[in-house]
Structure 1
Amino acid sequence: MATAGRRVLMGRIVGLYGVQGWLKIESWSEPRTRIFDYQPWQLSVAPGEMVEMSGIKGRPQGKGLVCQLPQVDSREKAVAWVGKDIYVARESLPPPGKDEYYWVDLEGLEVTTTDGVVLGRVSHLFATGANDVVVVRDDERERLIPFIQGRYVHSVDLDGGRMVVDWDPEF
Structure 2
Amino acid sequence: MTAAGDRWILVGRIVGLHGVSGEVKLESYTEPRTRIFRYQPWLLSTTTGNSEISGCRGREQGKGIVATLPEITDRDRAASLVGSEIKVRRSVLPEPKPGEYYWTDLEGLEVVTIDGVALGRISHLLATGANDVMVVRDGERERLLPFVLDDYVKTVDFEAGRVTVDWDPEF
**TM-score exceeds 0.5:** yes
Q: Give the Cα separation in 2 of the matches to 1:89 and 1:121.
A: 23
Structure 2 counterparts to residues 58-69 of structure 1, below 5 A: 58-69=58-69
Give the aligned residue type for 2:70: P
What secondary structure, in the 3-state scheme, does the structure 2 residue paired with 1:14 have?
Answer: strand
The match for 1:51 is: 51
What secondary structure, in the 3-state scheme, does the structure 1 residue paired with 2:6 have?
Answer: coil
- Per the TM alignment, residue 51 of structure 1 is displaced from its structure 2 partner at its CA by 1.1
RMSD of aligned residue pairs (Cα, Å): 1.0
The match for 1:75 is: 75
- Per the TM alignment, residue 26 of structure 1 is displaced from its structure 2 partner at its CA by 0.3
- Per the TM alignment, residue 129 of structure 1 is displaced from its structure 2 partner at its CA by 1.3
Give the aligned residue type for 2:105: D
- Per the TM alignment, residue 46 of structure 1 is displaced from its structure 2 partner at its CA by 2.9
Q: Give the Cα separation in 2 of the matches to 1:141 and 1:92.
A: 35
Q: Give the Cα separation in 2 of the matches to 1:88 and 1:102.
A: 13
Q: Give the Cα separation in 2 of the matches to 1:116 and 1:50.
A: 42
The match for 1:105 is: 105
CA contact under 8 A between 2:109 and 2:121: conserved in structure 1?
yes
The match for 1:88 is: 88
The reply on whether 1:149 has 2:149 as its aligned counterpart is yes
The match for 2:15 is: 14
The reply on whether 1:130 has 2:127 as its aligned counterpart is no
Q: Which runs of 4+ in 1 moved over 6 A?
A: none
Q: Give the Cα separation in 1 of the matches to 2:159 and 2:31.
A: 26
Q: Structure 2 length as normaliser, TM-score?
A: 0.96
Q: Structure 1 length as normaliser, TM-score?
A: 0.96
Give the aligned residue type for 1:3: A
Deviations 1:127-171 (A, max 9, x none): 011000000001130000000000000000112110000111111
CA contact under 8 A between 2:24 and 2:66: conserved in structure 1?
yes
Deviations 1:7-59 (A, max 9, x none): 21111100000000000000010000000000001110237x42110001111
Structure 1: runs of 5+ lacking an equivalent: none
Deviations 1:86-125 (A, max 9, x none): 1110010000000110000000000000000000000000
The match for 2:40 is: 39
Q: Give the Cα separation in 1 of the matches to 2:134 and 2:17.
A: 35
Give the aligned residue type for 1:79: A
Deviations 1:40-83 (A, max 9, x none): 01110237x42110001111111110101111000011000000
CA contact under 8 A between 2:46 and 2:83: conserved in structure 1?
no
What is the number of residues matched between the two proteins?
169
